[in-house]
Amino acid sequence: MIMKETKLLSVRDAEQDKKNIETAANLLRQGGLVAIPTETVYGLGANALNPQAVEAIFTAKGRPQDNPLIIHICQPEQAEQYAREIPSAYYALCRRFSPGPLTVILKKKDIIPPETSGGLDTVAIRIPSHPVARAIIQAAGVPVAAPSANLSGSPSPTTAQHCIHDLWGRVDAIVDAGECSVGLESTVISLAGERPILLRPGAVTPEQLEEVLGPVEIHQAVTGQLEGDGKAASPGMKYKHYSPKAKITILRGSSAQYTAYVNSRKGPGVYALCFEEDIPNLLVPYVSWGSSGSESSQAHRLFAALRELDQQGAQRVYARCPEKSGIGLAVYNRLIRAAAFDEQEAKETF
Ligand code: TXA
Ligand code: MG
């Protein structure tokens, strides 16, 4: 592919670094590709209404063309330009969770090109809270289509360094605003059908959604493996995700059971993907990813930890199993994909 000259634009403060915000916004308006920080993960942005610009996202990421993109806007009402038959539930969700880590699927208007919607009749709308994302979208004056700013298949980027690693020379600019606070991609809920259905768990939890909407169906692919093929409600669910080079197994059990099991597997390339409390009892090299009591610390660290394992040359990784409630459901959803659905009990078989 053609190599691009990539600009690195540091924005520590949306007010003070106005010049870099303007540069990023101009590139987006001109049909360029810009990696931008959000509170969830970094996104690879392009003008959502420009089919060529959107196509370039797929090329830069190596992403399958039928996997639709989320469009990012600043205000809830702007959805009316891009979506039709918007139910009142959309505004109810916005009142409670916008701006923030929530994406809502609505029926789309024709102005959204098929390149953006992956040929579907729906459009995914998100209103990010990150001040730098908001400043760039506002200045660009266009809705910004943005998938996570990683190469397709690798862990989502939570720092500008991750974007540089994956996309340097493939995009026009990377905006560096430090670490993302949440660390996992947004919750995706569809309001385009008869009943609300959760397609991807995130920091906005099923319990919180139900407080606003009443009963919410959780798509089977959220905790399990998708059966069948092309009929995925959310096409992203059918692709292999977040796969590090190492083979990962998730181990259920206490810290003591986990460390005993992992220590018994000690050998070349064997690593633990552990919680902080496990460290004192481990006899194998490890990367830690938050603490056992705090699912939000695990969310914050997971993707960076998966990248660190690759960098250290890990080949066989044993991971602690997170709690599956609250934001832990989202953590588990990402980890089980990284582990290609390999989960076991941490029971010794001496
Ligand atoms: O937090 C996030 O959502 C980040 C930041 C950058 O905003 N973006 C992100 O985008 O994670 P991406 O493309 O990596 O994931 C979008 C997910 C995919 O699984 C995709 O299939 C699904 O949302 N999706 C997008 N449009 C959809 C639609 N119209 N119907 C169903 N699923 C859709
Ligand atoms: Mg992604």
Question: Mapped to the 3 state alphabet, what secondary structure does 93-127 carry?
Answer: HHHHHCCCCEEEEEEECCCCCHHHHCCCCEEEEEC
Any atom of ligand 1 within 6 Å of the Cβ of 43: yes
Phi, psi of 337 (to 5 degrees): -70, -40
Residue nearest to atom 15 of ligand 1 (CA): 147
What pLDDT does residue 175 have?
98
Cα 27 to middle of ligand 2, angstroms? 22
> Could you tell me which residues come within 8 angstroms of residue 342 by beta carbon, excluding any fewer than 6 positions away?
247, 248, 249, 250
Sign of CA dihedral 160, 97, 222, 276: positive
- φ/ψ of 131, rounded to 5, equals -60, -35
pLDDT at 244: 78
Using CA atoms, how far residue 344 sits from 124, 220, 251, 323, 347, in Å, is 35, 20, 5, 15, 8
What integer pLDDT is reported at residue 234 of this predicted model? 67
Bridge-partner residues for 173, per DSSP? 7, 34
Structure tokens at 76: 């809830």
Could you tell me the two tokens for 317?
């990784």
Spacing, Cα 303 to ligand 1 middle (Å): 17
Tokens 């197994």 correspond to what residue?
249
pLDDT score, position 224: 74
Q: 3-class DSSP state for residue 139? A: helix
Position in ligand 1 atom list of the atom nearest CA 67: 21
Could you give phi then psi for residue 349, rounded to 5 degrees?
-125, 50
- End-to-end Cα distance, the chain: 52
Distance 157 CA to ligand 2 centre (A): 9
Per residue of the chain (350 residues), what is the pLDDT tens digit?
668 999 999 999 888 899 999 999 999 999 999 999 999 999 999 999 999 999 999 999 998 888 999 999 999 999 999 999 999 999 999 999 999 999 999 999 999 999 999 999 999 999 999 999 999 999 999 999 999 999 998 999 999 999 999 999 999 999 999 999 999 999 999 999 999 999 999 999 999 999 999 999 999 888 777 655 445 566 666 656 677 789 999 999 999 999 999 999 999 999 999 999 999 999 999 999 999 999 999 999 999 999 999 999 999 999 999 999 899 999 999 999 999 999 999 986 55
* Ligand 1 centroid distance, CA of 71 (Å): 9
Residues around ion ligand 2, judged by CB within 5 A, are: 148
159 close to ligand 1 (CB < 6 Angstrom):
no
By residue count, the chain amounts to 350
Task: Give the per-residue pLDDT at 230.
Answer: 42
Where b means 16+ CB within 10 Å and e means fewer, 114-133 reads: ebbbbebebbbbbbbbbbbb
CB 16 within 8 A of CB 22: no
Handedness of CA 142, 146, 151, 155 (dihedral sign): positive
pLDDT at 229: 47
Q: Is 91 exposed, middle or buried (0-12, 13-18, 19+ CB in 10 A)?
A: middle
Q: Which ligand is nearest to the CA of 122?
A: 1
